[in-house]
A and B are shown apart, each in its own frame.
Chain A
Amino acid sequence: MSDQIDEGLRSELQKRGVWVTSTQELYNWGRKNSIWPLQFGLACCAIEMIATAASRYDLARFGGEVFRPSPRQADLMIVAGTVTKKMAPQIVRLYNQMPDPKYVISMGACAISGGPFKQGYNVLKGIDRYIPVDVYIPGCPPRPEALLHAFMELQRKIDGQKLTGQDKASHLDREQPSEFPVPAFGAHDLEPPSNPNIFRPPAIERA
């Protein structure tokens, strides 16, 4: 594993043309440079996502330009836009249909918390109520640079994932679920309103 390779020795070897690596590094290096996002957008933020993928900002520089039209081939779900309660079950189902390892970027105020529509009756107050989110991008909408930054953050996260041990990556852990329950339409709200296993709202502290 990478922490067993002495950094000094490694750079010394590199100067002589010998490259030392580990399976974990090689694995993560390959994964982080070929993240295929799922091609779907929900609202205005999706326009910024399109701009990011197009030639001016060029997500291809980070290996993430291959937007897949099917969840079966995607690694990353960019929740770009307002998640209405009508749309939330579909998003969770799409997430469930993605093969492991899979990651989620929650793009924009809407996807994080409902954003400008937080008081609305039909908008989900954050997609992290149902699926685990890896990177949050604040903004309304976040600029393409912000999405690129989130992408690089995700790459950093993938790079640090462990193959073995207690804190190994969740897709390698037999205990970690790969599917999450899809909410259903209730009388007044989605049922259940959130998945208590993954959604822990911050406790409000009053002085």
Chain B
Amino acid sequence: MTPDPYFFLVIFAGVALVFPLLPLGLAWIWRRFLQPPKPGPQKNATYECGVESIGEAQVQFQSQYYLYCIIFLVFDVEAVFLVPFAVAFTGLPFGAFIAILVFLLLLLEGLVWAWSKGCLDWARMRERAR
């Protein structure tokens, strides 16, 4: 009887299990019977480069930065279109000029809107919380 062609996978899985478990088991036995555990308040403390840790690990960050990212896009996209516009300015037909002007005004309007909403104030969240 020829062995199943996938039998090697079983062997492989077995070796993959024994290979890490054996040293771990040996280490466990060693620790259990030979090396007395010596825990302590500092050994179990959070590692912070040797400095005592302060406060909780679960703190809240302000997620306000994303607003700046979005507004930044206004200027960024604007610049991308503005440069070719400026380069080709003298050769442009009137219609194209109007089109880019409308585009610029749209972006400007977005900026003004964001500004009036107070998105440019860094400490907006904290102000509100107060």
Which A residues fall within an 8 A CB radius of B? 70-72, 89-91, 93-94, 96-97, 99-100, 163, 171-174, 177-179, 182
Which B residues fall within an 8 A CB radius of A? 34-36, 38, 40-43, 45, 47, 49-52
A174 to B35 Cα, complex, angstroms: 8
B42 x A182 contact (CB < 8 A): yes
For B52, the chain A residues whose CB sits under 8 A away are: 93
A35 CB to nearest B CB, Å? 17
**Pick from B34, B35, B47: contact of A97, CB under 8 Å:** B47
B31 CB to nearest A CB, Å? 10
A72 to B47 Cα, complex, angstroms: 9
Once A71-B47, A72-B47 are accepted as A-B contacts, the answer to whether A93 and B42 lie under 8 Å apart by CB is yes
For A97, the chain B residues whose CB sits under 8 A away are: 42-43, 45, 47, 50
Once A96-B42, A182-B42 are accepted as A-B contacts, the answer to whether A171 and B35 lie under 8 Å apart by CB is yes
For A91, the chain B residues whose CB sits under 8 A away are: 50
A-B pairs with beta carbons under 8 Å apart, 7 shown:
A89-B50, A90-B50, A94-B50, A100-B38, A178-B40, A178-B43, A179-B38
Once A91-B50, A93-B50, A94-B50 are accepted as A-B contacts, the answer to whether A179 and B43 lie under 8 Å apart by CB is yes
B92 CB to nearest A CB, Å? 59
A90 x B49 contact (CB < 8 A): yes
A173 to B36 Cα, complex, angstroms: 7
A182 to B50 Cα, complex, angstroms: 11
For A177, the chain B residues whose CB sits under 8 A away are: 38
A71 to B49 Cα, complex, angstroms: 9
